[in-house]
Structure 1
Amino acid sequence: MDFRIFTEPQQGATYDDLLTVARTAEDAGFDAFFRSDHYLHMSGDGGAGPTDAWVTLAGLARDTTRIRLGTLVTAATFRFPGPLAIAVAGVDQMSGGRVELGIGAGWFKGEHTAYGIDFPDVRERFDRLEEQLAVITGLWATPAGRTYTHDGSHYPMVDAPALAKPVQEGGVPIIVGGSGKRRTPALAARYASEFNAAFQSPEESRVLFERVRAACEERRRDPDELTMSAVGVLCLGDDEATLARRAAALGRDVGELRRNGFAGSSDEVVDRIGRYAEAGATRLYFQVLDLADLDHVEELASTVLPQVS
């Protein structure tokens, strides 16, 4: 099992805020620092405003040394796949091969409306996602010196130079997630190195993992090639006062967080981790929403990780 920190900077965070959390996570021994890819806050006033995911990850690639970096998840509606493949490969080069690309169909209509981004119906969004995955992986897999052509409905490409290349052998690892019953498992089985069950209970996650494993078997791919992961909000407190304070800072109820996240005492969080492990997860993302509470990250590392590593 490995453990990652996941943040939501669209709620209001500067690059320096993200760098501080990423370095704290790196020093504390976490495997990765991930961020969402959103342009509009979902509650509150948005604070300092959003930052672009791949711009900030490029900075973190140079300002950190060990920790892996990535998105949960980039929306396929935000960028053309050719330029996205170039950007991600460039950040991979800048980081020395520490980048991962989480990508999804996009779901938040409000940010699309706010920033003038097309928001087609869900079927077309999944069509675009599937084609983006084909293009991105095709560009990275094209041998040096060759060109790449794609005869697609949404992103036709002719004689693309298929540069720049990631430094990771085989390309940047791709993460696909979601609760779709048919297309999501099929896309994960075809393109991903990781499947992520976001904000699902251990029992719900088990069902999603089983669907992806079945989709792998249909493609005659070894299901064990995919990492199965889950994500949930963190609210740790070994006394009720600390727990209540941290829940209040998130605007959430302690009882609700205990039911749906990694919340409660260190022993409770360890138990929750164990339930996800039993469901088949080998990687967990802890969603840290209060980026000013660096003690939260450090306490998770010092009180929980030693019991489960």
Structure 2
Amino acid sequence: MDLRIFTEPQQGADYDTLLAVAKATEALGFDAFFRSDHYLRMGSADGLPGPTDAWITLAGLARETSRIRLGTLMTAGTFRLPGVLAIQVAQVDQMSGGRIELGLGAGWFEDEHKAYGIPFPKEKSARLEEQLAIVTGLWATETGKTFNHDGTYYQLTDSPALPKPAQAKVPVLIGGHGAVRTPRLAARYADEFNIPFASLADSERQFGRVRAAAQTAGRSPDDLVYSNALVVCVGKNDAEVARRAAAIGREVEELKANGLAGSPAEVVEKIGAYEAIGSSRIYLQVLDLDDLDHLELISSQVQSQLNGA
């Protein structure tokens, strides 16, 4: 089971805070550092000192880390033109020595678009399908040849399809709860399917839909990685769990029901239950980015047990 650290910087984190978390992620043996792509806080957080851009952050981290994978859950398709996004991701992949992964979603949080003057189209899902075709098509175009796309929303003419990523294939993540379009897009374009904040039953059901869609598309369902994103709150004892839950404004029992919370043994057991229904990677949503002791505890008492199993 791969454990990855997943951050939500729009809730309040500057680059230096994210750098500290990324360096701890690397030093403590986690597989990857991922971040959300949002420009506005959610809920009761004050959001100070303000938003950071996902791909600018990852470009910096690409030069300040050496081992961990880096990526987004999920880049909002509404924020960037697909041709520009292909250039950005390829460049950051080069800067990292080939450690980048692209999670790409349709975008959904209308308020952040209003706050920063970003268009919020109605046909986001249909646009996402074209965006996936363009980004992956540009990267796959042989050097020296050109890429063209004449779609409903985007037209590219004689693109040199440059630059190329350092990796022969940048892993693409697609995720969500949609019952039809999401599995179909995952079957066609994804290297990994991720379902965020879902129960065991809902995860198993959605994994089944994606596997069926892959088979229908003539692809082996086992070609894809299946993963979950879940909030994490671990403590050595009940008091520590309660303190960490309070720090992120959540209740312990709610976290235990909907995430990975409790003692290391409890969290290991629940991760095992997700593994049993087909998940091989967990993105641990860490909401208190100043609590690096939390990461150390997860590394020493959760990850170590999983690795030893």
**What is the rounded CA distance, in whole Å, between the counterparts of 2:268 and 2:93 in structure 1?**
33
Residue 54 of structure 1 pairs with residue 55 of structure 2: yes
Pick aligned residue for 1:297 from 295, 298, 301:
295
Q: Which of 178, 181, 185 is the matching residue for 1:180?
A: 178
Q: Which residue of 1 aligns with 2:129?
A: 130
**Correspondences of 1:91-240 after superposition (within 5 Å):** 91-121=92-122, 124-169=123-168, 171-240=169-238
User: Number of residue pairs matched?
Assistant: 306
Match of 2:249 in 1: 251
Partner Cα separation in structure 2 for residue 253 and residue 287 of structure 1: 16
Map of 1:273 onto structure 2: 271
Q: Deviations over 1:156-180 (max 9, x none)?
A: 11011100101111x2110000010
- C-alpha separation in 1, matches of 2:124 and 2:223: 27
CA shift at 1:116, angstroms? 1.0
Name the CA distance, whole Å, in 2 between partners of 1:238 and 1:16.
28
* Partner Cα separation in structure 2 for residue 41 and residue 179 of structure 1: 22
Quote the Cα distance in structure 1 between the aligned partners of 2:31 and 2:305.
16
Are positions 1:63 and 2:61 aligned together? no
Q: How far apart are the structure 1 equivalents of 2:218 and 2:24?
A: 41
**Once the two structures are superposed, what CA deviation does each residue of 1:90-142 show, in whole Å capped at 9, x if it has no partner?**
00000000000001011111101111111122xx1001100000000000000
Residue by residue over 1:30-79, the C-alpha shift from the partner in whole angstroms, topping out at 9 and shown as x without a partner, is 00000000000103221111100000000000000000000000011110
> Which deviates more from structure 2 when the two are superposed, residues 42-51 or residues 88-97?
42-51
- Report the counterpart of residue 14 of structure 1 in structure 2: 14
CA distance in structure 2 between the partners assigned to 1:297 and 1:225 by the alignment: 31
Structure 1 spans left out of the alignment, 5+ residues: none
**Secondary structure class of the residue paired with 1:163:** coil
1:242 aligns with 2:243: no
Specify the alignment match of 2:33 in structure 1. 33
RMSD between aligned residues:
0.6
Rounded Cα–Cα distance in structure 1 between residues aligned with 2:72 and 2:21: 15
- Does 2:307 correspond to 1:306? no
Deviation at residue 282 of structure 1 after TM alignment: 0.5
Question: Normalising by the residue count of structure 2, what TM-score does the alignment of the two structures yield?
Answer: 0.98
Take 1:94 and 1:139, find their aligned partners in 2: how far apart are those partners? 19
Which residue identity does 2:95 align to in structure 1?
Answer: M
Stretches of structure 2 lacking an aligned partner (at least 5 in a row): none
Which letter does structure 1 place at the counterpart of 2:31? D
1:238 Cα deviation from its structure 2 partner: 2.2
Report the residue type matching 2:210 in the other structure. V
The letter for the 1-side match of 2:88 is: A
CA distance in 2, matches of 1:68, 1:202: 26
Q: Distance in 2 between matches of 1:101 and 1:188?
A: 13
Q: 1:283 deviation in Å?
A: 0.5
TM-score if structure 1 supplies the norm length?
0.98
Aligned residue identity for 1:288: V
The 3-state SS of whatever aligns with 2:39 is: coil
Q: 1:154: how far off?
A: 0.7
In 1, the alpha carbon distance for the partners of 2:190 and 2:30 equals: 22
Question: In structure 2, the residue corresponding to 1:181 is in which secondary structure?
Answer: coil
Distance in 2 between the 1:39 and 1:208 partners?
28
Q: Distance in 2 between matches of 1:120 and 1:80?
A: 13
Deviates more, 1:134-143 or 1:235-244: 235-244
Give 1:279 deviation, angstroms: 1.0
